[in-house]
Structure formats: C-alpha cells, structure tokens
Amino acid sequence: MANLKPAILFQALGDPTRREIFERLVKGPQAVVDLSAGLRVSRPAVSQHLKVLKDAGLVLLEQRGTRHLYQLAPEGVTAMRDYLDRLWDAALVSFKAAAEKAQKGEK
Amino acid sequence: MANLKPAILFQALGDPTRREIFERLVKGPQAVVDLSAGLRVSRPAVSQHLKVLKDAGLVLLEQRGTRHLYQLAPEGVTAMRDYLDRLWDAALVSFKAAAEKAQKGEK
DNA sequence: GCAAAAGGTAAGCTATAACTAACCGTAAGT
DNA sequence: ACTTACGGTTAGTTATAGCTTACCTTTTGC
C-alpha cells in the first residue's frame, strides 16, 4: 500500500494546490468534480494531484458509481505527526545533553 | 520575522536535501561547512537551502565569528504540529457530524 | 598587514513538476 | 442502444526550483 515515508508525505503537501485539496477534504469526502470547482486549475490537474496524494497515503478513494469519492487517510496525518513528534523529542534530548556538557565544562 | 505559514513550512520541508539538513540539525547546532560535508551538494547549495529554511522559520542562525551556526527553530516545528493537530480535530468533527446525519437519515 | 577560512550572493544551466488540451473508458439514466 | 456525466491517462509545453561556478565580504590567526 502506501509508503508513509516522510520524504513522500512532505513532498506531497509541499505543493500549494495539493495542500488546498487536502484541506478541503477535511470537511468530508468529496468527488473530483466538486473539488475542481473552486480551484483555478483544470480537472485533469486535480486528478493528477489526487493521484500523488493517494500514492503518498494521505488520501483514500471510494468509488460510488461514476463518482470517485476522496477522503482523508488518517494514517497519513498521524504519520506526519509522529515524524514531527520524534524529531522534536530527539531535539530535546540532544539539547539536554549539550546543556549538561556545558555545565561540566564550566565546573 | 518568520511567517510560520503552513504553505511555506511544508514547501520548505518538501525538498529532500532540505529535510536532510533539517534532520541533521536535530543533533545540535552546526556550521555550514560541517553540514555540507556529507551532503552530495555543493556548499553554496547548502547556503541557499539554509536561507529557505531560515525564511520559513524552521531554523535559527547564530554567528560566532566566521562560523554561522544553524539550529532548529522550536516555533517552526510546533507550528507544523499545531497545523496537523487542528486539521485532525476538524476532520474528526466533520466525521462525527456525518455519522450523526447518517443515523438520523436511517431512522 | 596578509593569508586563509567561512559563508553569502549572482549568473547561468538543466531537469522536472505542474499545467492544459485531447482522448478514452465506464457507469447510469432515458 | 444512445447519451450524458464523471474521471483517469497521455502528450506536449512552460515555468521554476535546485544546482554549480565564480566572485566578493568578513573575520581570524600569524
């Protein structure tokens, strides 16, 4: 299935249009037509962006007849949050280590 | 100062090299020379990336003589986490709303 | 005062990401 | 069966992000 690798996730949300699509899906599942209405890019462009988001694991697809309903993928969001959390923790650790080292050095 | 707007933040971390630089700074403050050693891009490239990260508010600069020490900017990381948290909460809300609506509809 | 070290900036090149236009497939309605 | 709605895919174009090379400034050490 999806990678859920930070590299792919951040790159996917790095594009403004893609992030706008992503944010619109917060309100609930939406079809491609509804999404492209209100966006200043063509419908094929939206399709391409959705493919990127789906491959990244940020979005899920449910086909209802001809309508393709896209919605947020919880795992994608949590994966990014986890990444930032781990990063943050690691930063705190090395910050503490540096502080203690400085203490010893001053003694 | 820094924008701390999601658009800028995600775009900054969207680039692989930039994310690698960012992750290296987790271990603590580092100078440009040290950063570019081990990266397969030139030092000017690293400088340019650091400028982007700094403008985005993800990185702080402290000049010590000729050495420019870069370190993580806590606000940048927390800004991204907050963004994802809010997004997540909003998604939960609309999910609940949709579920209740479906309930009523089935009654 | 001069050389070396560190790093930012400018100019120019290149790869690629994002877009549109055109096309095709499929499901639903009449 | 024919038509309409919906949406994915391809081909081709263009803007730009990222890179290197070259250059300049500033600080430090001798």
Nucleic acid strand D within 7 Å of B52 CB: yes
- Note the pLDDT tens digit of each residue in A43-82: 999 999 999 999 999 999 999 999 999 999 999 999 999 9
Q: A94 and B10 in contact by Cβ < 8 A?
A: no
Q: Specify the pairing of strand B30-31 against strand B67-72.
A: antiparallel
Residue B31 pLDDT greater than 50, yes or no? yes
Q: What pLDDT band is residue B105 in, cutting at 50, 70 and 90?
A: low
- And the tokens for A20? 């706008």
Q: B91 and A72 in contact by Cβ < 8 A?
A: yes
Chain B residues touching A91 at Cβ < 8 A? 26, 72, 74, 77
Mean pLDDT of chain A: 92
Q: What is the CA radius of gyration of chain A?
A: 19
Residue B63 pLDDT greater than 60, yes or no? yes
Query: For position A107, what pLDDT does the model report?
Result: 43
Q: What pLDDT band is residue B101 in, cutting at 50, 70 and 90?
A: low
